[in-house]
Amino acid sequence: MEIITSVTTMQRWSREVHRQGQTVAFVPTMGYLHEGHLALIRAAQTAGDKVVVSLFVNPTQFGPQEDFAHYPRDRARDEALCRDADVAACFIPATEEMYAPDHQIYMEEPAAARLLEGAHRPGHFRGVLTVVAKLFGAVQPDVAVFGEKDAQQLWLVEKLVADLNFPVRIMAHPTVREPDGLAMSSRNKYLQPAQRERATCLYRALQVAAQKVAAGETRAAVVLESMQPVLATVPEARIDYVALVDPGTFRPLEQEVSTPCRAVLAVRIGSTRLIDTMLLSAGNET
């Protein structure tokens, strides 16, 4: 496995893969890999000839009050996991390699990026869209795999690719969950044992909503209200948002629910902020 730290070396590496008639499948990560990332890597193995994983904690997507400084990092373990997963190259740029002192070009946040996650994390998607464009420029992937858990991010990355004509196919991977339903996330590490148990309230609330919609409920307010008692069982849970959105536009549905719709929520358990999502379908699909 190659360890690549410079943008130009990364570009040269991918150019050589392409010159050999092979494709590059890319999994961008912030490192501290878990089973969810490994599932994305396995999906990438089926989608392209050579898999590249980036490990980069992107400073520009964290707010000043957020957890950039203490976001968990374990480069040696991440590299070992990538090696075991038959990753062809790990792209691990230093912060200064990705953001030179005179870096000035950023992506604008479209209106859809200022809702939900964007409303609670101002500037977050500006940083996400910028770093994804920069990573695509460095890695030159044919396909890139993103987790569905970060549903609004996934939606925006698909928009970025469509609007700026990136020649990259975006592959969405279903959320990988712990046996009790908690969506896997590097931030789960922040949870104390008692909190860890209660953190399943996000998944349970989504299941309740899914059952409502499957049973034919079409009033958004009723679906959203059905989730509240589940979240209320955890007194320390503070809700940032709970919403149903149109999967095509990521706009919140406030009246009638057309299916499938996507439920999204962000909840703080103590000081740990968790997000989760589920696609809700009518009839007997959940």
Catalytic residues: 37
Query: Which of 3, 80, 119, 164 is in the footprint of a copy of itself by CB under 8 A?
Result: 164
Amino acid at 43: A
CB of 165 to a copy of itself, least distance (A): 3
Query: Which of 50, 121, 126, 212 is in the footprint of a copy of itself by CB under 8 A?
Result: 126
Q: Considering the rule CB under 8 A, would residue 140 count as an interface residue with a copy of itself?
A: yes
Q: Considering the rule CB under 8 A, would residue 166 count as an interface residue with a copy of itself?
A: yes
Q: Considering the rule CB under 8 A, would residue 245 count as an interface residue with a copy of itself?
A: no
CB contact at 8 A, 58 and 30: yes
CB of 23 to a copy of itself, least distance (A): 11
Of residues 7 and 172, the one with the C-beta less far from a copy of itself: 7
181-185 CB contacts, 8 Å cutoff, 24+ apart:
181/207, 183/36, 183/149, 183/274, 183/275, 183/276, 184/34, 184/35, 184/36, 184/149, 185/34, 185/36, 185/149, 185/274, 185/275
CB of 123 to a copy of itself, least distance (A): 11
CB of 55 to a copy of itself, least distance (A): 17
Of residues 81 and 245, the one with the C-beta less far from a copy of itself: 245
CB atoms within 10 A of CB 252: 16
Q: Name which of 105, 81, 89 is nearest 9 in CA terms.
A: 89
Phi, psi (degrees; rounded to nearest 5) at 229: -60, -35
**Crossing angle between the packed helical segments 201-214 and 220-232, to the nearest 10 degrees:** 150
Q: Considering the rule CB under 8 A, would residue 115 count as an interface residue with a copy of itself?
A: no
Residues 3-22 that bind a copy of itself (CB under 8 A): 7, 11, 15, 18-19, 21
- The tokens describing 173, both together, are 């991977």
Phi, psi (degrees; rounded to nearest 5) at 248: -80, -35
Query: Which of 105, 179, 193, 284 is in the footprint of a copy of itself by CB under 8 A?
Result: 105
Q: Considering the rule CB under 8 A, would residue 70 count as an interface residue with a copy of itself?
A: no
Q: Considering the rule CB under 8 A, would residue 100 count as an interface residue with a copy of itself?
A: yes
Of residues 122 and 137, the one with the C-beta less far from a copy of itself: 137
CB contact at 8 A, 56 and 31: yes
Q: What does the binding site for a copy of itself look like in residue numbers (CB under 8 A)?
A: 7, 11, 15, 18-19, 21, 100, 102-108, 110-112, 126, 129-130, 133-138, 140, 159-160, 162-167, 249
